[in-house]
């Protein structure tokens, strides 16, 4: 099987890996790098549980080949915060009860992160649009939308102050 | 007594793990030497297995085991023991597992499964419960008469496709119909649908060389898995360990037993190496169980004043190929299936029927979403027939204190109030003012609809749960209870109750997550919205047990009678002299006097709860006490129908439930908002689609759509009525399943009310609504 050496940045750290060409980014993240926070819900690009950021854009890792991220910067849920601290987005999810079983949560947070990075003050419709590819069977989405709104508002407050 | 923590919307205790991606699910596990499993599925709905050739698969490098049904003389099942581990002799549905492989990688396992050659001889199949009960229908289970079931509770009819026949007889329906001014008869139906947890079923199993089995599984009920496996394999319970870590959604689909036996047996055959099997999304749809379909025939007699005089109902459940759990859904519909109404004469026959389709199991609502589609549509149609407002008509007939349910249970002031729920939602959506509804323009029509609901936990009369509270040296406490919290928030509610009853801060309660049959006290199953209710009682009793041990030691230490002691802020103190107190820390490992003499010992509290007072139902009449408690509710909707496309948008959804007592406001609301959207999925979108050969053709997310963030109602309102349940923890009742029930009926009723088209089937998809409108247009 033909394999390639790829180099990329994962959550701010450089990584160099030998990967077989048909392996997906999801497999490489979970199995080779042991970053199991990114989940698999379908393996066919339809549920969003595997959402990660590649150069700031949200992608479904199950449909992305690992070789495609050669030279890119990849961010997963493990890069969202460190130690005992939570990012404002994660805090907003907790406070707004935006999770139940938690299986969609990592992917949901990554989609929200991508949205807030390109649009710091999204409307409710823009939020719905941004997470429309992330299925959640538990929460009914309303608390998730609320959490993203709140995180956006807090960011705006902070940048206004700063 | 102050109840500081009860009712508060504290965030769920496992939030941190879940938002950081560090919560462990079965799929995240990796054991040394672990192999990967793969299943081979039947491409036929009903076929004889003529030959299976596994030689090519076995000779593939990296394959450790190939299993076929012939090798496995085991049958499984919760209520009806009808399921083989792998199909043997014949397959009974498209997607049934025929063989399985364990190999060193997922890829090799998949390749090996492809190399297994199976020769089938297709058999005549049956896909419809109405066809399946006919005398000449092909039989799905020729050996039904040999299957083990619970005698006196389930009534299979040998040599037919009827897995269970539940009967309910109250009064005399023929007399009731004779007294009626109008009789309304209708047939309703709904298709099979899927649970769709985001995490598919996953199991890791290790059959060890010493003969013991260890299992990690995404299951709702570790003890049920252990028990059913022990019975099927003839092995002692003590040799089987089942561990359940975090579970990514379940909704009933992970109750009972699923992949655990297959993966265990693969591990045994693969030289006792651990094996992991994760169902693909396609397998989650086709192979793992779904929700049963239903055909319901209802005949209602009513006086012109609006009093229901008789109701005769036939429920035909499409169980699919297996009914191990399904028979109990049919049974529940037998004792609960006339709705929350006070009717003197009721006759129900509820038949659980085998067909050659994927099989059904418990799904949030346990039959009630299905039969309430029929009951609550029927109530609107009856009201229309006699020209009465459907809200007034319901009010005239609802159960209220003094009423007797169809099984002979008397409703009291404490049972809960469906009237209050209906009043609340009718007011909230402006039911009486709906004539003033403007049209949205462009062929868009606004409509409002209402529907009521009820449900009791469906469980055996000896259902039990236990809890242990074990103090640590620093007076923090470990809470051990085996009910699984796969998102409902029960773990958080239990911690609130523990903290409240021990009078300690919530952060001093340490909830143990991995549910482990080797280490945790017994629980029957996490189903039926019974966990807060029964588990809550067990937790409170365990806390009271701790308190009595603490007070006992303190009374000897302080030399005062136990009756003079109180607890607060982690201290035991003398009620009249609060300054005389002892910190829990000085007690939880036993108390030592200044002299060094010690008394008592480590504090461990124990609490149990069993479903007291339930009875087996009379086999002929269904009379008896099946319900530990009833949760009543109602929904009101306002929708906008695009008559040009048949599309429906939900503008407002108001839902009210009599929950007895809200333990955690935010988590309660979360159950409602999430459950309502699942109900809208059933109402508007979801259905299994088959081809003529009975193959499920929409077994992927591309073709089977569930609601997304774009499909949520524009406005929702959750209303909690609190009529305390006398035997509930703090008066609480369960509410996990109820939000889903009767949502489809409310939407269907709104369409009929505004447009005059009576749709009898689900889902209310744009296509179905459009065609119904077109048919009406042609008629008018
Ligand atoms: S797992 Fe990638 S989209 Fe579902
Ligand atoms: S929280 Fe369970 S799927 Fe979203």
Distance from CA of B631 to the nearest CA of A (A): 21
Mutate to test the interface with A, among B9, B10, B20, B710 (most CBs of A within 10 A): B20
What pLDDT sits at residue B2?
38
pLDDT for B637: 98
* Confidence grade of residue B1 (pLDDT, cut at 50, 70, 90): very low
pLDDT value of residue A161: 64
Partners of B249 on chain A (C-beta within 8 Å) are 100-101, 103, 137-138
- Which residues are CB-neighbours of B447 under 8 A, at least 6 positions away? B434, B437, B638, B639, B640, B641, B750, B751, B753, B754, B755
The Cα B549–Cα B276 span in angstroms is: 45
- Boundaries of CATH 3.90.1170.50 in chain B? 31-123+205-274
Chain A residues with CB-CB distance to B21 below 8 A? 35-38, 76-78, 80, 105-106
Check whether B343 has a pLDDT greater than 50.
yes
Adjacent-strand bridge partners of B447: B639
Does residue A104 have its Cβ closer than 6 Å to ligand 2? yes
Contact B246 A97 (CB under 8 A): no
pLDDT at B443 exceeding the cut of 90: no
Confirm whether the ipTM is greater than 0.90.
yes
Residue A12, min C-alpha distance to chain B (Å): 17
pLDDT at B732: 82
Give the pLDDT of residue B665: 84
Cβ contact, residue pair A137, B280, below 8 Å: no
Q: Which of B145, B170, B175, B171 lies closest to B160, judged by CA?
A: B145
A107 pocket-lining for ligand 1 (C-beta < 6 Å): no
Calpha distance B170→B278 (Å, rounded): 47
d(CA B165, CA A45) in angstroms, rounded, equals 43
- Does the distance separating the beta carbons of B19 and A109 come in below 8 Å? yes
* Of the candidate ranges B23-32, B449-458, B737-746, the one whose mean pLDDT is the lowest: B449-458
Best interface-test mutation with A: which of B12, B18, B251, B704 has the largest number of A CBs within 10 A? B18
B721 to chain A, closest Cα gap in Å: 22
- Chain A residues touching residue B717 (CB < 8 angstroms): none
The mean pLDDT value of chain B amounts to 93
Residues of chain B with CATH 3.30.365.10: 15-20+463-610, 293-459+615-779
Residue B19: phi and psi, rounded to 5, are: -80, -15
Q: Rounded mean pLDDT of B227-252?
A: 95
Over residues B547-573, the pLDDT tens digits come to 999 999 999 999 999 999 999 999 999
Please return the burial class of B106, using the count of CB atoms within 10 Å of its CB with bins 0-12, 13-18 and 19+: middle
Fold of B15-20+463-610: Aldehyde Oxidoreductase; domain 4 (3.30.365)
Residue nearest to atom 3 of ligand 1 (CA): A45
- B671 Cβ contact list (under 8 Å, min separation 6): B488, B489, B735, B736, B739
* Residue in B27, B198, B716 closest to A137 by CB: B198
* B339 contacts B452 by C-beta, under 8 angstroms: yes
- Residue A90 CA to residue A106 CA, distance in Å, equals 10
Cβ pair B368, B529 in contact under 8 A = no
How many other C-beta atoms lie within 10 A of the C-beta of residue B142? 12
Q: Is A25 in the pocket of ligand 1 (CB under 6 A)?
A: no
As given in the structure block, the two tokens for residue A151 are: 């995180």
Rounded average pLDDT over B23-28: 97
Measuring CA to CA, which residue among B741, B740, B743, B745 is closest to residue B758? B745
Distances (CA, A) of B545 to B246, B414, B498, B541: 29, 27, 11, 6
Q: Is B577 a catalytic residue?
A: no
Q: How many CB atoms lie within 10 A of CB A85?
A: 9
Whether residue B439 has pLDDT greater than 70: no
Q: Is B20 close to A78, i.e. CB distance below 8 A?
A: yes
How is the beta sheet containing B571-574 ordered, strand by strand? B565-568, B571-574, B577-583
Ligand 1 pocket, residue A88 CB under 6 Å: no
Residue B696 C-beta-side C-alpha neighbours within 13 Å: 31
Asked if residues B119 and B113 have their Cβ atoms less than 8 Å apart, the reply is: no
Q: What is d(CA B424, CA B277) in angstroms, rounded to the nearest whole number?
A: 48
CB B258 within 8 A of CB B201: yes
pLDDT tens for residues B682-731?
999 999 999 999 999 999 999 999 999 999 999 999 999 999 887 777 88
As a whole number of angstroms, the longest Cα–Cα distance in chain B is 97
Dihedral sign for Cα B69, B70, B71, B74, please.
positive
* pLDDT digit string, tens, across residues A14-64: 999 999 999 999 999 999 999 999 999 999 999 999 999 999 999 999 999
- The residue that leads in pLDDT, B617 or B542, is B542
Whether the predicted pLDDT of B528 surpasses 70: no
B451 pLDDT tier (thresholds 50, 70, 90): very high
Render pLDDT for B359-416 as a digit per residue (tens, 0 to 9): 999 999 899 999 999 999 999 999 999 999 999 999 999 999 999 999 988 988 888 9
Distances (CA, A) of B242 to B222, B227, B320, B470, B503: 6, 10, 28, 22, 33
> Would you identify the CATH topology of the domain B293-459+615-779?
Aldehyde Oxidoreductase; domain 4 (3.30.365)
For residue A100 and ligand 2, the question of a CB distance below 6 A is answered with yes
Q: Would you call B20 and A77 a contact, using CB atoms and an 8 Å cutoff?
A: yes
Residues of B in contact with A99 (CB under 8 A): 12, 15, 18-19, 487
Return the pLDDT at B526: 65
Name which CATH class applies to B31-123+205-274. alpha beta
Q: Is A105 in the pocket of ligand 1 (CB under 6 A)?
A: no
Q: Quick one: average pLDDT of B522-529?
A: 69
Question: Could you tell me which residues are beta bridge partners of residue B165?
Answer: B351
Count helices and strands in chain A by DSSP H and E runs: 5, 5
For ligand 2, atom 4, which residue shows the shortest CA distance?
Answer: A136
Task: Find how far residue B611's CA is from the centre of its chain.
Answer: 18
Computed on alpha carbons and rounded to an integer, the radius of gyration of chain B in Å comes to 27
Inform me whether the pLDDT recorded for A7 exceeds 60.
yes
Domains annotated on chain A, with CATH: 3-79 (3.10.20.30), 88-161 (1.10.150.120)
Cβ density class B150-181: b for 16+ within 10 Å, e for less: eeebbbbeeebbbbbbbbbbbeebeebbeebe
What mean pLDDT comes out for the span B229-237? 95
Share of residues in chain B with pLDDT > 90 (%):
82
The pLDDT confidence band at residue B7, using thresholds 50, 70 and 90, is low
Q: Which DSSP letter does residue B761 get?
A: B
pLDDT value for B461: 73
| Residue that is written with structure tokens 């099984």 in the block | B407
What number of other Cβ atoms are within 10 A of residue B643's Cβ?
18
DSSP B44: S
Q: Is the CB of A72 under 6 A from ligand 2?
A: no
pLDDT digits (tens, 9 = 90+) for B473-522: 999 999 999 888 888 888 998 999 999 999 999 999 999 999 999 999 98
Q: Could B709 and A36 be called an inter-chain contact, meaning their C-beta atoms sit closer than 8 Å?
A: no
Q: Contacts from B584-588 at CB under 8 Å and sequence distance 24+?
A: B584/B471, B584/B475, B584/B504, B584/B550, B585/B473, B585/B474, B585/B475, B586/B557, B587/B550, B587/B553, B587/B554, B587/B557, B588/B471, B588/B472, B588/B473, B588/B475, B588/B550
pLDDT greater than 90 at residue B3: no
How far apart (Å, rounded) are the C-alpha atoms in residues B772 and B752? Answer: 11
Query: What separation in angstroms does the CA of B391 have from each of A8, B201, B431, B448, B449?
Result: 64, 42, 8, 12, 10
Annotate B555-602 with DSSP letters as a single string: HHHHTS-GGGEEEETTEEEETTEEEEEEEGGGTTEEEE-TTS-EEEEE
The pLDDT tens digits of the residues spanning A63-89 come to: 999 999 999 999 999 999 999 999 999
Backbone angles phi, psi at B691, to 5 degrees: -90, -175
What whole-number distance in Å separates Cα of residue B31 and Cα of residue B9?
38
Residues B110 and B94 sit within 8 Å (Cβ to Cβ): no
Question: Do B197 and A132 make contact, defined as CB atoms within 8 angstroms?
Answer: no
- Contact between residue B221 and residue B256 where contact means Cβ atoms under 8 Å apart: yes
Chain B contact set for A136 (CB, 8 A):
198
Q: How far is A160 from chain B (nearest CA, A)?
A: 27
Per CB-CB distance under 8 Å, the chain A contacts of B285 are none
Answer whether A127 contacts ligand 1 (Cβ < 6 A). Answer: no
State the catalytic residue, choosing from B737, B758, B761, B767: B737
Per cent of chain A over pLDDT 90 is 92
């Amino acid at each position: 099987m033909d394999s390639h050496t790829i180099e990329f940045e994962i959550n701010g750290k450089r990584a160099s890996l030998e990967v077989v060409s048909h392996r997906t980014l999801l497999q490489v993240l979970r199995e080779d790098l042991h970053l199991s926070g990114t989940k698999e819900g379908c393996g066919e690009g339809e549920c969003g549980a595997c959402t990660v950021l590649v150069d700031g854009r949200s992608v479904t890792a199950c449909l992305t080949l690992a070789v495609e991220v050669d030279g890119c910067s990849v961010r997963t849920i493990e890069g969202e915060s460190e130690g005992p601290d939570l990012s404002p987005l994660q805090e907003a999810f907790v406070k707004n009860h935006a999770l139940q079983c938690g299986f969609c949560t990592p992917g949901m947070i990554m989609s929200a992160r991508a949205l807030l990075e390109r649009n710091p003050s999204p409307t409710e419709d823009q939020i719905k649009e941004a997470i429309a590819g992330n299925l959640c069977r538990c929460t009914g989405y309303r608390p998730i939308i609320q959490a993203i709104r709140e995180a956006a508002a807090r960011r705006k407050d902070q940048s206004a102050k700063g | 007594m102050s109840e500081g923590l009860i009712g508060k919307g504290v965030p769920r205790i496992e939030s941190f793990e879940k938002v950081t991606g560090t919560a462990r699910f079965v799929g995240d596990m990796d054991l040394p030497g672990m192999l990967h499993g793969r299943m081979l599925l039947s491409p036929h709905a009903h076929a004889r297995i003529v030959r299976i050739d596994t030689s090519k698969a076995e000779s593939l490098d990296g394959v450790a085991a190939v299993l076929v049904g012939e090798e496995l003389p085991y049958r499984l099942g919760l209520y009806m023991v009808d399921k083989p581990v792998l199909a043997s002799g014949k397959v009974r549905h498209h997607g049934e597992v025929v063989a399985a492989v364990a190999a060193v990688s997922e890829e090799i396992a998949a390749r090996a499964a492809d190399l297994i050659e199976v020769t089938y001889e297709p058999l005549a199949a049956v896909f419809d419960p109405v066809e399946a009960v006919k005398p000449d229908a092909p039989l799905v289970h020729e050996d039904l008469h040999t299957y083990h079931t619970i005698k006196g509770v389930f009534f299979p009819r040998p040599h037919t496709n009827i897995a269970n026949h539940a009967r309910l007889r109250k009064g005399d329906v023929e007399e009731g119909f004779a007294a009626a001014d109008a009789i309304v008869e209708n047939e309703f139906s709904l298709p099979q649908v899927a649970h769709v947890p985001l995490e598919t079923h996953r199991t890791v199993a290790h059959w060890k060389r010493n003969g013991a089995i260890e299992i990690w599984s995404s299951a709702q009920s570790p003890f049920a898995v252990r028990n059913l496996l022990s019975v099927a394999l003839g092995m002692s319970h003590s040799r089987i360990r089942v561990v359940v870590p975090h579970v990514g959604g379940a909704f009933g689909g992970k109750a009972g037993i699923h992949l655990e036996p297959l993966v265990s047996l693969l591990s045994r055959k693969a030289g006792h190496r651990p094996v992991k099997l994760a169902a693909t999304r396609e397998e989650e749809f086709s192979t793992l169980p779904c929700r049963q379909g239903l055909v319901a025939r209802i005949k209602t007699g009513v006086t012109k004043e609006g009093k229901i005089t008789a109701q005769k109902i036939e429920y035909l459940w499409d169980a699919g190929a297996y009914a191990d759990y399904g028979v109990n859904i049919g049974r529940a519909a037998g004792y609960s299936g006339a709705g929350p109404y006070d009717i003197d004469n009721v006759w129900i026959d509820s038949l659980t029927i085998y067909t050659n389709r994927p099989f059904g199991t418990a799904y949030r609502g346990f039959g009630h979403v299905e039969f309430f589609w029929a009951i609550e549509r029927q109530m609107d149609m009856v009201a229309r027939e006699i020209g009465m407002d459907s809200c007034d008509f319901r009010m005239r007939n609802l159960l209220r204190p003094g009423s007797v349910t169809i099984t002979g249970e008397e409703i009291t002031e404490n049972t809960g109030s469906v009237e209050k729920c209906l009043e609340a939602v009718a007011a909230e959506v402006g039911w009486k003012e709906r004539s003033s509804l403007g049209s949205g323009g462009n062929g868009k029509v606004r409509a409002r609809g209402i529907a009521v609901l009820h449900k009791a936990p469906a469980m055996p009369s000896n259902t039990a749960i236990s809890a242990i509270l074990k103090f640590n040296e620093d007076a923090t406490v470990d809470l051990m209870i085996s009910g699984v919290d796969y998102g409902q928030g029960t773990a958080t509610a239990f911690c609130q109750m523990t903290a409240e009853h021990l009078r300690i801060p919530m952060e001093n309660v340490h909830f143990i997550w991995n549910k482990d049959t080797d280490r945790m006290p017994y629980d029957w199953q996490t189903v039926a919205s019974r966990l807060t209710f029964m588990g809550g009682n067990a937790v409170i009793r365990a806390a009271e047990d701790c308190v009595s041990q603490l007070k006992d030691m303190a009374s000897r230490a302080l030399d005062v009678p136990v009756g003079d002691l109180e607890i607060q802020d982690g201290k035991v103190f003398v009620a009249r002299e609060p300054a005389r107190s002892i910190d829990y820390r000085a007690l939880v490992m036993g108390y030592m006097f200044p002299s060094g003499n010690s008394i008592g010992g480590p504090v461990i509290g124990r609490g149990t709860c069993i479903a007291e007072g339930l009875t087996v139902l009379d086999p002929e009449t269904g009379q008896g006490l099946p319900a530990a408690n009833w949760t009543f509710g109602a929904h009101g909707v306002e929708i906008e129908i695009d008559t040009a496309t048949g599309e429906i948008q939900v503008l407002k959804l108001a839902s009210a439930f009599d929950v007895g007592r809200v333990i955690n406001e935010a988590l309660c609301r979360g159950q409602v908002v999430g459950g309502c959207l699942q109900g809208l999925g059933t109402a508007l979108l979801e259905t299994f689609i088959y081809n003529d050969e009975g193959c499920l053709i929409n077994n992927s997310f591309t073709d089977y759509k569930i609601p997304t963030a774009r499909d949520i109602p524009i406005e929702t309102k959750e209303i909690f009525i609190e009529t305390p349940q006398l035997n509930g923890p703090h008066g609480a009742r369960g509410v996990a399943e109820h939000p889903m029930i009767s949502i489809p009926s409310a939407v269907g009723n709104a369409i009929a009310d505004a447009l005059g088209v009576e749709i009898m089937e689900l889902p209310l998809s744009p296509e179905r609504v459009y065609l119904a409108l077109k048919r009406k247009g042609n008629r008018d």
